[in-house]
Amino acid sequence: MVKELSVEVQAKLKKIATKMKVPFKEVSEIYETKVKELKESKTTGNVERIALNMTMSEYRRLVNKQMRKDTFTPKSTAEAIYGILVGGLGFRDLAQEMRKKAKDYAKKNGLEAAKDKQLIDGDNNVLDTRETIFGKENPDYLEPLNPKLKLCKNTLIGLFKKNGSKTFKYTTLSTNDNQLAIAWNKIKEFTPCQTFGIVKDEVDLTMKINSSKAETTTTVFKALKEDWDIKELVLTATKPLLTPIDKVEKKHEDTKNAWDRFIIVRGVVNWINLDKPTPWGSIWMGIMDAESGLEDAAQVRCMIPDRVSVDFGEGSEVIVFGRTNRSKYRDNDTDKLEEGDVRIDVYGIYAIPGLTTSKESTEEVEDETEIEGWLN
């Protein structure tokens, strides 16, 4: 029966066999079985195409199984850690992002352009544009993306200590597990908690933690009934990691090539645009140095995403956790994008108790000098 297969089907089955390093006969027999089952169930439509998709799915499950084994097999035992969460980088679904990118590009530039860009194929299926997965070659690179596929990830930020330690460290907790990534959307910040994680890296006052999915050490967060002084905890843990506001620009230049760069600053809110969010729901805030805020270099803009709660106003003292980025602006004369100031993309904010004002929007002060609109 193999000889009756179309040239197109044979080519795709051979491609599967090559990628999976299995005999072509094995793949073709699975395909023929799928065709037979579909015909017996009186499936309508393009039976051959559906059978090909089902064959691909069967091998895809094998790849997923191996990926899970490679990804989630702990390289070391998960450890108990204790502390507080202070924010995060936000939940992402990489599969959905690829779908959106392809859709938006096709809408703006046309289907043919999207095909040339290798975002979709000839049947308008969204393609998997990941060349590598966890540093390894992606066997499905530029293959149609399964419409039901989820590739979720989430990263949380906290101040945690390991069991037996007295030092709380700036901690990054990361997961690529779909279930955990979704579960981590429901957490409480600045509340004592306990969890487990695989310590990937620990340097000075920082820790990087990978999630654990082991039955007894799953990385979910359990509230602790500890009478911790949260204010003292935050101030003590962040003090040696603070960057003076007038050094933010230098900090960015020194670390801008580091994918895992972070910054922590303490300052006074001198304006916050609560009632003027960006089209994607973020709000702008300006903070200045409490001692030398009148100096030009002693202030910095912060972009606060909608996932970060704001319950303070102008004049409040806050500690901001985030990542530096240099803003861009379009020059009206040349119409080119030019580099602007360094801003902080916010992961989390701690409003220092006793030094906060009520939530109220204020705008950045502009030049209000009166000018004449008509000159004689």
39 in a domain, yes or no?
yes
pLDDT at 375 over 70: no
pLDDT digits 0-9 by tens, 105-140:
999 999 999 999 999 998 889 999 998 887 788 888
Q: Give a yes or no: residue 368 inside a domain.
A: no
Note whether residue 373 is domain-resident.
no
- Specify whether 42 is located in the same domain as 163: no
Question: According to the model, what pLDDT value does residue 292 have?
Answer: 66
pLDDT at 110: 93
Q: Would 365 be classed as within a structural domain?
A: no
Please state, in angstroms and rounded to a whole number, the distance separating the CA atoms of residues 245 and 251: 10
Q: What is the pLDDT of residues 302-323, one digit of tens each?
A: 999 999 999 999 999 999 999 9
Query: Has residue 19 been placed in a domain?
Result: yes
Share above pLDDT 70 across residues of the chain, in percent, rounded to a whole number: 90
- Determine, yes or no, domain membership for 92: yes
Comparing 335 with 303, which gets the higher pLDDT? Answer: 303
Residues 160 and 81 in one domain: yes
Same domain membership, residue 270 and residue 134: no
Cα dihedral sign, 299-301-305-311:
positive
Identify the pLDDT of residue 368. Answer: 46
| Max avg pLDDT among 37-51, 232-246, 323-337 | 232-246
Q: State residue 13's pLDDT score.
A: 86
Q: Quick one: 51 and 196 in the same domain?
A: no
Q: State yes or no: pLDDT of 244 exceeds 80.
A: yes
Question: Do 211 and 287 fall into the same domain?
Answer: no
Q: What is the pLDDT of residues 267-279, one digit of tens each?
A: 999 999 988 888 8
| Residue span of the structural domain in which 68 resides | 2-72
Say if residue 87 is in the same domain as residue 220: yes
Give the CATH number, domain containing residue 303: 2.40.50.140
81 and 216 housed in the same domain? yes
pLDDT digits (tens, 9 = 90+) for 206-231: 999 999 999 899 999 999 998 999 99
The whole-number average pLDDT for the span 352-372 is 68
CB-neighbour burial class of residue 268 (10 A; exposed 0-12, middle 13-18, buried 19+): buried
Q: Say what the pLDDT of residue 231 is.
A: 97
237, 265, 298 - which closes a domain: 237
At 183-213, the pLDDT tens digits run 999 999 999 999 999 999 899 999 999 999 9
Per-residue confidence (pLDDT) for residue 197, from 0 to 100: 96
Q: Is residue 207 part of a domain?
A: yes
pLDDT at residue 24, as a whole number: 87
Model pLDDT, residue 180: 96
End-to-end CA distance of the chain: 94
Residues 296 and 255 in one domain: yes
Q: Do residues 160 and 116 share a domain?
A: yes
18 pLDDT band (50/70/90 cuts)?
Answer: confident
Give 291 or 91, the one with higher predicted confidence.
Answer: 91
Give the pLDDT mean for 224-245.
95
Q: What is the pLDDT of residues 132-164, one digit of tens each?
A: 887 788 888 888 988 889 999 999 999 999 998
Of 57, 72, 87, the one marking the end of a domain is 72
Q: Give exposure, 70-95, as e/b (b: 16+ Cβ within 10 Å).
A: eebeeeeebeebbbbbbbbbeeebbb
158 and 228 fall within a common domain: yes
Q: Of the residues 31, 54, 72, which one is the last residue of a structural domain? A: 72
pTM: 0.75
Tell me which amino acid residue 23 is: P
pLDDT reported for residue 3: 46
Query: Would you place residue 9 in the very low, low, confident or very high pLDDT band (cuts 50, 70, 90)?
Result: confident
Q: What is the pLDDT of residues 249-263, one digit of tens each?
A: 999 999 999 989 999
Do 254 and 282 fall within a single domain?
Answer: yes
Q: Are residues 329 and 257 in the same domain?
A: yes
Take residue 240 and report the two structure tokens written for it. 């040696």
Q: Is the pLDDT of residue 367 over 50?
A: no
Question: Is residue 376 predicted with pLDDT exceeding 60?
Answer: no
Q: Is the pLDDT of residue 97 over 70?
A: yes
Total number of domains constituting the chain = 3
Q: What is the pLDDT of residues 46-95, one digit of tens each?
A: 878 888 888 888 887 777 666 555 554 545 689 999 999 999 999 999 99
The answer to whether residue 366 is domain-embedded is no
The 3-state secondary structure of the chain, one letter per residue? CHHHCCHHHHHHHHHHHHHHCCCHHHHHHHHHHHHHHHHHCCCCCCHHHHHHHHHHHHHHHHHHHHHHHHHHCCCCCCEEEEEEEEEECCCEEHHHHHHHHHHHHHHHHCHHHHHHCCCECCCCCEECCCCEECCEECCCCCCECCCCCCCEEEEEEEEEEECCCCCCEEEEEEECCHHHHHHCCCCCCCCCEEEEEEEEEEECCEEEEECCCCCCCCCCCEECCCCCCHHHHHHHHHHHHECCHHHHHHHHHHHCCCCCCCEEEEEEEEEECCCCCCCCCCEEEEEECCCCCCCHHHEEEEEECCCCCCCCCCCCEEEEEEEEEEEEEECCCCCCEEEEEEEEEEEEEEECCCCCCCCCCECCCCCCCCCCCCCC
Residue 168 has pLDDT above 90, yes or no: yes
